[in-house]
Amino acid sequence: MASYRSKTSSYITVPVFLAAFLGIGVIGLLAVSSSKRPNLKYGVSCEMVNVVNEFPHDPEAFTQGLLYVENDTLFESTGIYGRSSVRKVALQTGKVEHLHKMDNSFFGEGLTLLGERLFQVTWLQDTGFIYDRNNLSQLGKFTNPMEDGWGLATDGKDLFGSDGSSTLYQIDPQTFEVISKQVVTYNGQEVQFLNELEFVNGEVWANVYGVDCIARISPKDGKVLGWILLQNLRAELLTAGNQGIDVLNGIAWDGKQDRIFVTGKLWPKLFEIKPYPIEKTEGIIEKLCLPETLQFGSS
């Protein structure tokens, strides 16, 4: 069900979209290379993305957690009271192969897999859940030590979490105590509203609530190493008539094949993306990725 989209069309449509919809005017975005990572010697990197593949995604899924396991299989956590769930999803078809419906009193949030167990946090409550990855049966609960439950990820050893603030938490998966906390900053400015998280090549990638941006964060000191701009995905969905889509939310990484997947709440598609470096123009990150205030629905 995947379709290939040419690089040429992305190169043309993305800057046009940015200029037209965000009123930036001439932004002079320049593709340096479509295969190489940017050279960090010159500071924080900035990337845009080519869509390599598109897969169907349940348009009713209010995506709050996303991760790739193997064999073209994803795990996903969804929110909304009465509709919250943990699911095993086939990448190619978007088919939900297994679904655990949560109790109506919980709003599902970030999800991660550590060993054989899935860990999930919930919104506005300090209850977290642990599930068996093989059948999604609930194995236990834990107390989320963060202020709230938004994103969850793992480096294979500890849990990393976000609660909608600028803090990235490192959490012990046995005791659920906070091991360390980093304030995420870009050029000395705090990056608020950190949402869904994923470990990618030793970095923590976080999409920022309400904007189409991913911050690539150093888990050591919380510094933003780079930004990925994804405005072209929303533009494509809106152009195709999907007016009901909510925010970008959900990053998954297939480490073996180095594939990156993203989706959003109520998005009918899941995109495989390939970032490519661009030259960062003055003020573009502040404008696109660092909202000063937000009106909250739910994280």
Positions that interact with ligand NAG (CB under 6 A): 69-71, 132, 134-135, 137
Q: What angle do CA 246, 248, 250 make, to 5 degrees?
A: 120
Closer residue to ligand NAG (CB): 66 or 290: 66
Smallest gap from residue 103 Cβ to ligand NAG (A): 16
Indicate the residue among 5 and 98 with the shorter CB distance to ligand NAG: 98
b/e for 109-137, b at 16 or more Cβ within 10 A?
bbbbbbeeebbbbbbeeeebbebebeebe
User: Which CB, 35 or 134, lies closer to ligand NAG?
Assistant: 134
Is residue 238 helix, strand or coil?
Answer: helix
CB of 254 to ligand NAG, least distance (A): 13
Q: Is 243 exposed, middle or buried (0-12, 13-18, 19+ CB in 10 A)?
A: exposed
> Quick check: 190 and 184 in contact, CB under 8 A?
yes
Given a contact cutoff of 8 angstroms between Cβ atoms, the answer to whether 100 and 135 are in contact is: no
Least gap, CB of 140 to ligand NAG (angstroms): 13
Closest CA to 248 of 200, 292, 193: 193
Residue 279: C-alpha distances to residues 42, 152, 226, 275 (Å): 10, 31, 12, 13
User: Cβ 163 to ligand NAG, closest distance in Å?
Assistant: 30
Is the CB of 114 or the CB of 245 nearer to ligand NAG?
114
φ and ψ at 234, to 5 degrees?
A: -60, -40
Distance in Å, CB of 271 to ligand NAG, minimum? 23
CB of 118 to ligand NAG, least distance (A): 12
Nearer to ligand NAG, 83 or 98 (CB): 98
Closest CB to ligand NAG among residues 71, 295 = 71
